[in-house]
Chains A and B, each alone.
Chain A
């Protein structure tokens, strides 16, 4: 994986993904190793982020690396109208690797084609978010002991949710995965993503009511539904409360069920669920540091 960019989750094979997860376990056991002390990593966030940016920067710092960059486009020359092409060409001269988040879809792929140093996509519009996907895979494997033969439900905004797209694509590489897709009519999973499930020969089931999946699944992947995603505001008002998870709904769920959420959460998981042993979203966010350490170490070739 040395010097390779990670733009979309399917840039890596199943074996390469598993390799990163295995390596992440060693970082979880020993997160502070000064293996990047000779490296400078650029962190370019053209769009705000809490977890992704800070967990990347924490991962780099814990490994002894240096971080340069910006956390919003407003504090860079982008605000003066500089093109992405010029920004990437310049920053690639100052760093060994670029982590970037950008509001436009395909921005990271474009950057990877013009940059002499590898690019890690930290989110490009509604397209892909592969490092979130790695930490989701890590969290599933850690809590379920496997990535094959999983029943997983995705709930909420499946149309624009890039973390959902990346995770569906990644899980399609594993064996016997059943996909339960719960969303309002307007926010169904795009056909371009469903194609990965079909091409893998797996089934998916679509629902509008999340209660229908509660007893069936090992993993419940919740996402936020945003008002601005609806063309009809009345439709948003109609569905907004039907995608809120509370403790009562979990009564008959499987013992091994774990609830994941890419965060930030607004109100789609009631706070009373946080103390339920099935809630895993904060540990999930912590796992982000370990998988990012594994990824940085692999791409920079220090492992």
Chain B
């Protein structure tokens, strides 16, 4: 069964598979990792069946590997994701994502009166709650909650 389902999205020779992406978060993950501008092959699937989560998404990026600090950015929208490194069609490593303590540059502050939404300033947040995600803005000191997160 597992093999059959895998075939719905082609296998890659070298690269990264991001599996167990929550339903609806595939496009956000693509955006956070800046894969929209990536020129090599990318396969992605959404609403695939998952034994663990019911429905899931998956992304396979050919010829691209990620540093932990890069890939951990997706934990905000895909805390359940598994990151699989593939070399020569073989699984080299399988890791869960970790929510970082600090988020720099890719989340917008929800507060319209924050300086970061009015001048060219790189946003910076500390993650004050990792379960029910809450981001404390380094500048305006307001809290952006999970439901208000918008990505730059």
Contacts and interface: CB of A to CB of B under 8 A. Distances in A.
Nearest to A84: B119
Given A109-B138, A192-B142, A126 B119 contact: no
B67 interface: no
Interface string B128-152: 1000000011111111000000000
A239 to B, nearest CB: 24
A267 B97 CA distance: 55
A106 B116 contact: yes
B113 interface: yes
Contacts of B118: 104
Contact of B119 (A85, A124, A192): A85
Interface string A86-119: 0000000000000000111111011000000000
B119 A125 contact: no
A105 B121 CA distance: 13
A183 to B, nearest CB: 18
Nearest to A8: B141
A128 interface: yes
B141 A105 contact: yes
A195 B142 CA distance: 12
Contacts, number: 58
A107 B76 CA distance: 26
A105 B143 contact: no
Contacts of B119: 83-85, 104, 110
B80 interface: no
Nearest to B121: A110
B52 interface: no
B114 A104 contact: yes
B120 A126 contact: no
B139 A105 contact: yes
A105 B138 contact: no
A5 interface: no
Contacts of B113: 103-105, 125-126
Contact of A107 (B111, B115, B137): B115
B143 A106 contact: no
A109 B139 CA distance: 6
Interface in A36-88: 83-85
Given A106-B137, A109-B138, A110-B121, A192 B116 contact: no
A30 interface: no
Contacts of A251: none
A246 B60 CA distance: 69
Q: Which one of B118, B128, B139 has the greatest number of beta carbons of chain A within 10 Å?
A: B139
A191 B134 CA distance: 11
B120 A127 contact: no
B141 A128 contact: yes
Nearest to A110: B115
A145 B68 CA distance: 53
Contact of B115 (A104, A128, A190): A104
Interface string A110-149: 1000000000000011111000000000000000000000
Interface string B91-135: 000000000000000000001011110111100000010000000
Interface string A185-196: 000001110010
Nearest to B141: A127
Contacts of A105: 111, 113-115, 139-142
A110 B137 CA distance: 12
Nearest to B143: A192
Nearest to B111: A105
A125 B140 contact: yes
Contacts of B141: 8, 105-106, 127-128, 192
Interface of A: 8, 83-85, 102-107, 109-110, 124-128, 190-192, 195
Interface of B: 111, 113-116, 118-121, 128, 136-143
Query: Which 7 A-B residue pairings sit nearest by Cβ, starting from the closest?
Result: A106-B139, A105-B140, A106-B115, A106-B140, A104-B115, A107-B115, A192-B143
23 contacts: A8-B141, A83-B119, A83-B120, A84-B119, A85-B119, A103-B113, A104-B114, A104-B115, A104-B118, A104-B140, A105-B140, A105-B142, A106-B116, A106-B121, A106-B137, A106-B138, A110-B116, A110-B119, A124-B115, A126-B113, A190-B143, A192-B136, A195-B128
